[in-house]
Structure 1
C-alpha cells in the first residue's frame, strides 16, 4: 500500500495552508483541530474567519485560495456551488481536494426528488469526478453527533425525540472518525480517487440510541415514532417552513425504509483501524457534559 505511515505528511502539505470550508462545523472544526495538532498550517473558511469566506458570495473565494494547494470541501446545502468552486480551485493552482458528500448519492430511492442535500451532493460528486485535481470523496452515514450537537439535541434535552423513523436502524458514524479520514486524505498519499463510505461498526434504532443516552445521563429520554405527515405538521406548527419540514422528514426517510442500517468499511480502509462504536460516542459525549440539563 502506497499510503504513508500514520502521522507522516506529504512534503507540500507542510508548506501551504490547507483550506477547510465549513471550518467551524461538526466535521470541519474537528479537521482543523487534528491538522493543528499535526503542525499543519490551516486556513479556516467561514463567514466569521479572516479572510472571510461565504459560499454565496463569490467575491470571497479567491482570497481564501491564496497559497492553498489542498482543500476540504463541506458543501453549501441547497446550493449548486461545489462545481464552480472546484473550477475556481483548478484555475488558482489547487492540487488536491477532499469532498464531504453523503450516503445514498448513488442509491436509487434513497433521497426524495426534492431533497436539497441530495441534489447538492449528486452535483458535487459529478464535479469532482470530472475535475483535473487529485480527489477523495467521503460519504458518511448519519453523524452520531446529531444527538449531542445537531438536529436531535434539543429534543434529547427535552426528554422526547419525535421522528418519522419507524423501527429502522442507522449505522451512526462518529464525527471524530469522519475528521480523521478527511485529515488522512488531505495530508497523506494513497487516497486519490477513493470514495470512502463511512459508518459505525454497528447499527442501532433511534429507540436504542436514546436508550443508550438515557442510561448514560441517568434521566429518561424516549423515542416516539410519528407518521411522516404528522411530523411535518408539527414542525410547521413550530414555525418551520413547509419546505424545510418536508426536507427534514425526507432526510429521515431512509432510516424508516431500512436503507441506513448497512455497515461500511471506509474507516478501516482509510485508517487501518475499526470505526468507533455508538456506545463509545455516548460515553464520551456524556462525560463531556453534552447533555447536561
Structure 2
C-alpha cells in the first residue's frame, strides 16, 4: 500500500485532507512539529530546522506539501523537502501555494513552484484563493467583539473558497496521475465583497454582522498586536493590498472540473460554521 505524507496535517486544509485520504484507503502519515503521540500515524518534522526531514520521507510514495504560516521565506522551507522527496523516490507531490503566486517569478512561493516543476517529479500545484475559513479564524475577533469584519480592502470582491474544497481537490490529485504536471487556481463559484459576506453571516447566525473598511495602518497595528512577526505582517499587508486592487475577484472552474460538482457556497459554509459566531 502506498504511503502518503501530509505536511501541515494539523491545519485547516491538512486535517480535512487526512480524513479524506484515510476514508479513501490511503495509508496516511501526518507530519508534525509537535511531540509524536502515535508513531504509527505521525512523524516529527520541523521545516524550519529540517529536523526529521530525511526520516519523514523514507518509504513515502506521495506527498502533500505546503509552507507553514507566519514565514515569508517559503522557498527556503519548501525546496529542501522537494529535494529530499526526489532522493527518496517519492512518486507524486501536490504542492499548495496561493492564487497569484505565479505572478512574480521572484516571489518565494513561485521559486518553490519552479523548483518543483524542474525537479523531474510528478506533481500538481494548487493555488487557492482566500479561504472562507478566515472568517471563523483570523477575522473572528472583530465579529465576536463588535459584530464587524474589519479589513482594509474597500469594496473589492473575492472568490472565496472553502478549505474543504481545497482538501478534496488535493485528495483527488493525490489519487490519480491523470492531471500530472498541471497547476490549478482554486476559487469559489462567485466573487463577493465583504458587505455581501457580512450579510450572509448575519442571515446564518440571526445576528447583525457588518463590514467596516479600516485604514491600512490600523490593520498593520492589529496584526502586530496579535503577535505576527513584522516581516509576515508586511507580507499580509501586501496581499491585502492585492485584494483591494481586485486581484482576488477572478473565478475558475477548476473545482468543478476536478470534483464534478460546484464549489461549496459561502451560504453553505456559513450554515456549517454557524456555531463559531453565535454568542453564548
The verdict on a shared fold, with TM-score over 0.5 as the criterion, is yes
- Measured after TM superposition, the shift of residue 82 of structure 1 is 1.1
2:79 corresponds, among 80, 83, 93, to 83
Q: Deviations over 1:94-122 (max 9, x none)?
A: 110000011112336xxxx9xxxx93311
Distance 2:77 2:226 in 1: 30
* Equivalence for 2:144: 157
Larger mean Cα displacement after TM superposition, 225-234 or 258-267: 225-234
Is 1:226 matched with 2:220? no
The one of 89, 96, 101 aligned to 1:100: 96
Please state how far the C-alpha of 1:74 moved relative to its aligned partner.
Answer: 1.3
Q: Structure 2 vs 1, CA of residues 243 and 56 (structure 1 numbering), >3 Å: closer, same or farther?
A: closer
What is aligned with 1:74? Answer: 66
Uncovered stretches (5+) of structure 2, i.e. residues with no partner: 37-41
Partner of 2:262: 274
| TM-score, L = length of structure 1 | 0.86
Match of 2:192 in 1: 204
1:136 aligns with 124
Conserved in 1, the CA contact under 8 Å of 2:72 and 2:232? no
TM-score of the superposed pair, with normalisation by structure 2: 0.89
- The offset of 1:239, in angstroms, is 5.8
1:119-130 residue pairs with structure 2 within 5 A?
119-130=107-118
Match of 1:60 in 2: 52
The answer to whether the Cα contact below 8 Å between 1:90 and 1:133 also exists between their aligned partners in 2 is: yes
Q: How many correspondences in the alignment?
A: 268
CA-based RMSD: 1.9
- The yes-or-no answer on 1:179 pairing with 2:129 is no
Q: Counterparts of 1:240 and 1:127 in 2: how far apart (Å)?
A: 28
**Structure 1 residue ranges without an equivalent (≥5):** 1-14
